[in-house]
Amino acid sequence: MDHLELIKLANAAAQGKRPYFFSQPDVDRLLSILLAVTQELAVTRERLDTVERVLERRELFERQEIDSFRPDADAARERGQWHIEYLARVLRVLQQEVETMQRSAGDVSSEDVARELAAG
C-alpha cells in the first residue's frame, strides 16, 4: 500500500448515513475542512514548541529569547514583506474580483466563447 492509499484507508467513512446539521450542507463541509486545518496548525505549533524546548535543553538558546527578540531593521522589513505576500496569496479571490469589475468590457464566459467558436 502506498502513502496515498494508506491515508485514504485511514480517512474511510464509517457505515451509517452521515448527518448534516446546517441548512446548507456546504457549511458542514467547510467546517470539516476548517477544523482539519485548525488541527494541523495546532500540530505545527506543538512541533515548534518541541523544537524550542529541545534547543533550550541543549543550551543552544533560551526560550525567553523568542519573546524578547527584536528584529533589526532589515529583518523587520523582510518579515513585513513576507506578511504582505502571504496575505496577498490568501486573499487572492478579492483581488481577482476587483480586477474583473475593472475590465471595462466585462468578461465573457468560456461557455459563450465555446458556442461562438463552434459556430464559426
CA proximity to 67, closest of 52, 81, 80, 50: 52
Among 26, 37, 50, 94, binds another protein (CB under 8 A): 50
Q: Which residue number, 66 or 87, has a Cβ lying nearer to another protein?
A: 66
Torsion of CA 110, 116, 118, 119, to 10 degrees: 170
Taking the least distance from each CB to another protein, the nearer of 43 and 88 is 43
Q: Which three cell numbers stand for residue 27?
A: 457549511
Residue 67 found at the interface with another protein (CB under 8 A): yes
Site for another protein in 89-108 (CB under 8 A): none
Distance CA 108, CA 95 (A): 18
Q: Mask: binding to another protein, 30-49, rule CB under 8 A, as x and -?
A: -xx--xx-xx--xx--xx--
How many Å apart are CA 89 and CA 82, to the nearest integer? 11
Here the cell at position 22 is 446546517
Residues in the chain: 120
Binding-site size for another protein (CB under 8 A) equals: 28
Provide the binding-site residues for another protein, judged by CB under 8 A.
6-7, 9-16, 18-19, 21-22, 27-28, 31-32, 35-36, 38-39, 42-43, 46-47, 50, 67
